[in-house]
Amino acid sequence: MNPVPAKFAINAVARLRDQREEEGIKPIQARGWRATRCRACRVIESHCLCAWRPQVETRSGVCLIMTNKEVFKPSNTGWLIADVVRDNHAFIWSRTETDQQLLDLLADPQWQPYLVFPGEYVEPERVTNTVDVDSSKRPLFILLDATWTEARKIFRKSPYFDRLPILSLLPEKLSRYRLRRSTRSEHLCTAEVAALCLDLAGDSAAASALDAYFDVFSQHYLDAKQQLEMNVETPAHAELKPFVQNTAPVIG
C-alpha cells in the first residue's frame, strides 16, 4: 500500500482496519465485496475518491468508537471524518476490555470530551446543545460509529463515559445518507453528525468540507455500484473543490 502523503493526517479508521486484518480478522462479505476497491478510500477503483480528499485545519478532534464489523464496511462514513479532521482517533469497542489508550485520551488535559448522543436518553443535567468554543481546552467529539441498536448498547455498557457531558444535536435537516437504510429518516449518519459538531465548535470550514466530501463520496459510491460513469461536474464536487489541493490519488 502506498503511504499517505505527509500533508494528510493518518486516518485512524484505516489504521484500525489494518490492525484487525493483521490480527487475522476477515472483512465481512457484504454485497459487492468481490469488487476491486481502492485500498485508501474503499470506493471501487474506477470511481476512486482519493483525489477529492479535502485538506482543512480544525481545532476540534474526533474519537470514533466502532464495532468489529463497522470498521470493515466500505459504506462507513466515520472514515470520511478521519480523512478531514487531523486529530482523529478510532477504537474498537469491547464490553469486557477497555483500551488504555482510549482512557488516556479522555483524560488528556488538552481536550474537553463531548459524548454525542440523543439527550432524551440521558439525565437532563448532563445534556448540552452547545460547545464551549472559548475554553482553553479543545473540543473532542466522541462518536459512536455503529448501528443505532449497537450505539445504545455501547452507551449503556461503557462506564468510562458516565462522567462526560452529552452533546445532544438538534439537526434541522433529515439525513442525506443513501448508502444504507435507517428505520427513522431523522437519524443522521456519522459524517453528518460530525459536521454538525464541527460547526458548533466554530470549525465551520471543516464542517462545510466534510458535508461536501460526504456528498461526493455518496455519489462516487452509488455511481460505481450502479455502473454509471464517474461525473465530477456536479454541485457537490464544486462545493468540495475549494478544500482540495492538487494531488495525485493515493491508490494502494
Distance CA 30, CA 26 (A): 12
Distance CA 230, CA 220 (A): 7
pLDDT tens-place values along the chain, 252 residues long: 344 445 677 999 999 999 988 887 776 655 555 678 999 999 999 999 999 999 999 999 999 999 988 999 999 999 999 999 999 999 999 999 999 999 999 999 999 999 999 998 899 999 999 999 888 999 999 999 998 899 999 999 999 999 999 999 887 655 555 554 444 444 688 999 999 999 999 999 999 999 999 999 999 999 998 999 999 999 999 999 999 975 444 333
What 8-state DSSP symbol labels residue 82? H
Which DSSP string corresponds to 124-145? GGGEESS--TTSSSEEEEEEEE
Q: Where are the domains of the chain?
A: 35-241
pLDDT at res. 243: 97
Edge-first strand listing for the sheet containing 61-66 = 88-92, 61-66, 138-145, 111-116, 166-167, 127-128
Task: Tell me which fold the domain 35-241 belongs to.
Answer: Alpha/beta knot (3.40.1280)
* 3-class state of residue 21 by DSSP: helix
Distance CA 235, CA 214 (A): 13
**What are the residues whose beta carbons fall under 8 Å from the beta carbon of 94, sequence distance 6 or more?**
none
* 3-class state of residue 179 by DSSP: coil
Distance CA 196, CA 170 (A): 9
